Structures are given as C-alpha cells and as structure tokens.
Amino acid sequence: MTFEELDIIEPIQKAIKGHGYTHPTPIQEQSIPILLDRKDLLGCAQTGTGKTAAFAIPILQHLFLDKKRSSGARNIRALVMTPTRELAIQIDDSFTTYGKYTGIRNTVIFGGVKQNPQTTALRRGVDVLVATPGRLLDLMNQGYISLKHIEFFVLDEADHMLDMGFIHDIKKIIAKLPTKRQSLFFSATMPQDIVALSHKILGTPEKVTIKPEQATAEKVEQAVYYVSKRCKVSLLVHILLNEPYESVLVFSRTKHGADKIVKLLVRAKIRAEAIHGNKSQNARQKALANFKSGETTVLVATDIAARGIDVSGLALVVNYDLPNVSETYVHRIGRTGRAKASGVALSFCNGEERPYLRDIQKLIGQKIPVIDDHPFVDDGTEDAVAAKPKKPQSRPKPKGQNKWRGGASSKKAKRPYSGNRD
C-alpha cells in the first residue's frame, strides 16, 4: 500500500515524502480511508504506531479541499485535545510538517507558560488548534477561543486524560462543540470508563485496533534483569558504563526517584537529566533539547512526562521500575524501535515486581528473556538478601551474540525477533 493509493492529495504527499515516509503504517492504512470518508473513528492504538499522521493527514486534506469555503477571517475548524504539553507540541509539529504545502495554519496551547504568545497566535487566526484541556478551557473562558466552527474533533490518549483527572474539563469542552462534526477518539486501552466516554463523543464510529504486540514484538529486543531494589542504580551504572548506548530513556515510577537516579548517574560521570512534572516547562524543554542534541545521553522520566517524547534513534529504554499497568510497559518500550528503527528495552524487576512481569508477559503474549550474567542478580527474596556483586562473565550488548537467555537457567534462548525485523 502506498500513500497515492490512499488518495492523499499532492501537497500532503510531497510533504510526507520529504519527511522520509515511504509507506503508510498499519494504523494509517486502516484509518485514513475511514476519515477521508468523514466517518467517526474509535482507535485503539498507542503512541509509536504513527497515529498522529493517521488523523492529521485526513484533517489537513479536508481543510485544504474546503479552503475556499472559508473566506475572510480564519476560524478554528479542527481541535485536537491531548493530555500533556510534550505531546501537544509534537502533534502541532506534525501538523506543521504534513501541512507544509497546504497553507493550513495550526497552533498549540498548553499550561505552565505565559498565555500571551498563545493568544497572539490565536488572534492572527488558525485552522487547527492543538490543546491540553486546562489551558483550552481557560482561554475559552477568557473569550479568546470559540469552538463554534469546529468540524473535526480529536480526543487523543483518552485513557491518560482520565488518569490525569481531566474528565470534568473534557465534558465541559465537549458541551461547547457543534453537534455536526467528525469525531476521532484514540486510546491505548479501552476499559469501561473509556468506552463510556467514547459514547459521549462519537456517533456510530468505525473501529480500528492496532494490537500492542504488533507495535512491540516486531521491533524491540526485550530482556529482564532480576535485581533487588537497592541494587538497581548500580546495575544501571554497570550497564551504561559497559555499553556506550547513545541515547537512553529510563523510566522511573516517581518524580523523586527520577531525581535520585540522575544524581547517582551524574556521580558516576554519566550525562543524565530528569524530566517530570515538578520541573518547569522551560526546564523540561531544555532537558529534552539536550537529550535530542546528544548533550546528555540519559533522560530519566516519569510516565506522564515521557508522553510524547519522540526521539529518533533512541537506542535503549530502561524500565527502572516495572509498571503495575501492563499497557504502560508496551507504551514505554514503544519509545524505542519506532517506525523502521529497532531498539532495545531492558527491565529491572525486583521481588515485589514479579507479579507485574507476569501480567506484562501475558499481555504481550511472550516470555521476556532473562539476563542472568550480571553482578547484581537477585533470587527473588526481595531486598532482604543483599545481592553480592560478583565478576560478570559477559555483559549485555546492544548488538551481538549470546546475550539473550531463555530464563534463570543458563539455557540459551534465541535472540528475540531476529528474523522478524525489516
């Protein structure tokens, strides 16, 4: 399947080809025809699947083809709502990229920064607005934004919107939308409350599901280390000093934990920075920019702050803490191995986290190979027994042989997905 076959108009095709996309991803292949047909869409998909382009391209195409209709001042005709600033900025960038030759104007608004530059951009007139819920409501209440011309509405990462407590804001915003519109609803997971919310937004939607396995199994090499809580930092330092991964994203469950990890990495002369909700927007942007430019090699993030981080060529994802929600694991490791690139995801699992590991393996339908030749192996008795460092026989390498093991035994396992990558 090609973008031509999806009936994408020339100016958008030119932009996406210029951006290096040759073929649509599965979610794009499935969603674009539905959306060009002006149907509502319920998409069960996570970040990393190409879902931004799956909704941005058809919206841009509709706006471009209807451009003549809107003579005079520009009105906001498409609204994309997303939970975090990072994700909002990234989606806005995507609209700019794909819409480069369309003359469609887009802007982004989010909280935590001064509103003036945002209201100035809004006053100049935009066709597409990408927003986080709090700032959107705020600027609506101040009279800077009217939703009465909205024709396209996207609710992105619905499950995280609810996790972050945005439900009331979302309901207030939906109430202001025109009833005649095309609505798109994306969520990585579909528990009951999400399904209920989708009913409030969508008419009779078409459904597209991109299974987590499709996103992870093909591209990401995964492995797990059994290690006690107190030895996790030492293990991380050990891995990072022994293998010079160029860009590493480390997930910490808590903000405090993220800061502590950074402190200890820096002490070991590893260039690391943290990104989480307690940092100012500027500090977060700076940390992200340093990471993208290679100034720092390790970014330690909480799940919420990491939403929307899109760094090409991310070599390694480390689950320093295993998440208790299995879908989060899939989300995290989707940060590496994006689009065509392959990546490595290593997980640190202490005794308490073993049930989480079981759940994750159940969700992804595979057993994650265990690396047991490291100095901090924990036998699962949790932190009561301090793991005694011993000399490693061999170290895990980003590329190479014999690093993947099939379990706590020394039986060798096949390197995962080696025959499966493109």
E strands in 165-236: 182-187, 206-209, 220-226
CB of 329 to ligand AMP, least distance (A): 17
C-beta of 265 vs 288, nearer to ligand AMP: 288
CB of 296 to ligand AMP, least distance (A): 20
317's tokens: 């994802």
Min separation Cβ 28 and ligand AMP, Å: 6
Closest CA to 90 of 47, 133, 126, 61: 47
CA 102 from chain centre, in angstroms, equals 27
Q: Which is nearer to ligand AMP, 186 or 245 (CB)?
A: 186
CB of residue 251 to ligand AMP, shortest distance in Å = 17
Q: Which is nearer to ligand AMP, 28 or 234 (CB)?
A: 28
Dist. CA 155–CA 410, nearest whole Å: 47
Taking the complex as a whole, how short is the minimal distance between the CB of residue 253 and ligand AMP, in angstroms?
23
Q: How many residues does the chain have?
A: 422
- What does the alpha-carbon distance between residue 417 and residue 344 come to, in Å, rounded to a whole number? 11
For residue 224, the cross-strand partners are 347, 370
Task: Find out whether 333 and 305 touch, Cβ atoms under 8 Å.
Answer: no
Residue 7 Cα distances to 56, 59, 62, 159, 420, angstroms: 15, 13, 12, 31, 30
Q: How far apart are CA 290 and CA 299, in angstroms?
A: 9
Nearer to ligand AMP, 255 or 284 (CB): 284
Cβ closest to ligand AMP, residue 272 vs residue 306: 306
At its nearest, how many Å lie between ligand AMP and the CB of residue 284? 18
The least distance separating ligand AMP from the CB of residue 55, rounded to whole angstroms, comes to 9
Could you tell me what percentage of the chain is helix, strand and coil, using 3-state DSSP and rounding each to the nearest 5?
A: 40, 15, 45
Closer residue to ligand AMP, CB minimum distance, 178 or 294: 294
The distance of closest approach from Cβ of residue 188 to ligand AMP in the complex, given in angstroms and rounded to an integer, is 10
CB atoms closer than 10 angstroms to residue 328: 23
Q: In the complex, which residues of this chain contact ligand AMP (CB under 6 A)?
A: 21, 23-25, 28, 47-53, 310, 338-339
- Please state the closest distance from residue 338 (CB atom) to ligand AMP, in A: 5
| Full DSSP string of 84-127 | SHHHHHHHHHHHHHHTTTTT--EEEE-SSS-SHHHHHHHHH--S
Name the minimum Å distance from CB 180 to ligand AMP.
27
| Nearer of residues 86 and 353 to ligand AMP, judged by Cβ | 86
Half-sphere exposure of 189 (CA within 13 A, CB side): 16
Nearer residue to ligand AMP within complex by CB, 43 or 396: 43
| 241 vs 339 by CB, closer to ligand AMP | 339
Q: Which of 319, 299, 317, 327 is nearest to 226 (CA)?
A: 319
Bridge partners (DSSP) of residue 248 are 298, 316
Residue placing its CB nearer to ligand AMP in the complex, 28 or 107: 28
Query: Which residue from 156, 127, 131, 152 is spatially nearest to 59, judged by alpha carbons?
Result: 152
DSSP state of 318: E
